[in-house]
A and B are shown apart, each in its own frame.
Chain A
Amino acid sequence: MSVLVYIEPIKDKIKKAAIESVSYASQVAQLLNTSVTAIAFNASEETIKEISNVGAEKVLNISDSAITTINIKSLAKGVIAAAKEENVNVIIFSFDGSGQSVAPYVASNLKAGLVAGATELPKVEGNKLEVRKNVFSGKASAIYSIESAFKIISVMPNSIEIASNPKSAEVVAFAPSTDLKDGVQLKNFKVNDDVAHGGVPLPDAELVVSGGRGLKGPENWGIVEDLAHALGAATACSRPVADADWRPHHEHVGQTGLAIRPNLYIAIGISGAIQHLAGVNGSKTIVVINNDPEAPFFKNADYGIVGDAFSVVPKLTEAIKKIKAN
């Protein structure tokens, strides 16, 4: 009775969040004295190598090119079939990409208790697992107890360390007897402008440079983009900026936009309203640049510069470029 971990269909390279979820599964398996089996879709040799390096001992691989990350029902049916095949009662997902949507679909079918977005390893308490997750948009956390026989945890990206645990995974071609088809079809994929121009996609970014109303207008975003480019960071913005169409909606971070947890978040000209903090307070390090010393963000930051963004940010960019060049 192993621990099952879900690997979403991968377009290019396996995401760090997926590797984190396998490493998490491996650590849960150690707590339960068992091994890790992965359920993967159209997995490449490289993917199998990456996940066996962090503890996967067996990979059930479903080869069906018609199934992609958009097919939540198909993916869930594949995971349910794998869970029955392997007789597992713990399944781990990433709270990212398709994982956060497939997990509840599977939980419904298996009558499993689900904790979505766990930030720590669980504790074993008899037949129960206790695990922490963030609630109230990061303003608090809660310890959930999973009381059902079947247990599902999805892991918040960037919240656990990846532990090396090399195994030589046995790969099994898995063809469930159930029909995996669903009715959702991909017609087209539009690459976001910033990504098309070599930028970093925001949800996965480890470094994020974000701008707010203090930048006064969309024409001034060059200083934000230049700093992001120098660092290899993604760009983000506050709600008023997205609402005014200075920046696209998918860049809005905050309570009603995207919640992110990068290693570094640099906020430029953002006052730090409670709704904005709710989307970024999971960041490991926060740097605030603002000309108002009373901006509430300074009370929730690690480092701050009180000054005019239009003079401070270009200087910062140049200094970073200089060090990187050496």
Chain B
Amino acid sequence: MKILVPISQVPDTTAKISFTDNDTTLNTAGVSFIINPYDEWYALVRALELKETGKAEKVTLIHIGPAANDATIRKGLAIGADDAVRVEGEGDSSFVAAQIADYAKNNGYDLILLGKESISYNSAAIGGLIAGDLEWDFVPLATKLEINGDAATLEQDADGGVSELEAKLPLVVSCAKGMAEQRIANMRGIMAARTKPLQVINAVGPDTKLTTIKSYQATPGRTSCLIIPEDNIDQLVDILHTKVRAF
């Protein structure tokens, strides 16, 4: 059983977001980039745990983007993935998913584990798009995953509770908090990552974009906070009651 872990590159969680070129491009000045936390902390680490317990033979990273992103891919190799593939190209989520689906199909992967969403575009779309491309079953928002042969048992966040599920491989699973604990790459991992295979392949499929982004706008901050004295709680209660209509 081989696991494919798609990773996207996103601005660091502490990054301040602004735009250039008439609000059409992310301003990357002073922004450092990381692996999308849901992909790294939950999907990749759970994939590695499955390999360490003998449930999987191999964990491969796949990333769609330019050569400049290789440093981010190497971080994933340093945490413990066996090898990586970078698809040269850029596009919307349908394009990205098509690359991942094509690679998985042609290289015999049985399980695709990815984060529930990226913290850059927050569309939570890649998992469903890949599953649709491959016509595989899809379990989103999983918080637990065990594999036995071709059987998977999972837990999934649901409204007001947790669903306990069974499914069969091949399968696409998107991972939410609870799936695994973040790992920090150690020096040995970082050294090993330098020589692990990172294959670069060309993109497949149509170049036509189904969606484009016309412009961005930074979210305006709240203009002013009304500070209410500690001994005047009734003022806050009155605001919550009459203005916010909370009760």
On A, residues with C-beta under 8 Å from B are 15, 69-70, 72-73, 76, 95, 97, 100-109, 111-117, 130, 133-148, 182-192, 195, 201, 203-204, 207, 231-232, 242, 249-250, 252, 255-257, 259, 263-264, 273-275, 278, 281, 284-288, 298-308, 311-312, 315-316, 319-320, 323-324
Contacts and interface: CB of A to CB of B under 8 A. Distances in A.
A241 to B, nearest CB: 13
Interface stretch (B55-63, B64-72, B159-167, B190-198): B159-167
B246 A298 contact: no
Contacts of B166: 184-185, 187
A187 B155 CA distance: 10
B226 A147 contact: no
A275 B16 CA distance: 10
Give the dominant DSSP class at A's interface: mixed
Interface residues of B, number: 83
A15 B228 CA distance: 35
Contact of A114 (B94, B136, B208): B94
Interface string B86-126: 00000011100100000000000000000000011111111
A320 B11 contact: no
Contacts of B201: none
Given A136-B11, A189-B158, A191-B161, A109 B132 contact: yes
Nearest to A97: B159
Contact of B225 (A117, A249, A303): A303
Given A136-B119, A136-B122, A255-B37, 11 more contacts: A100-B140, A104-B125, A108-B128, A116-B124, A183-B167, A184-B137, A184-B166, A187-B164, A189-B162, A256-B177, A259-B122
Nearest to A256: B37
Contacts of A303: 225-228, 236, 239
A307 B153 CA distance: 47
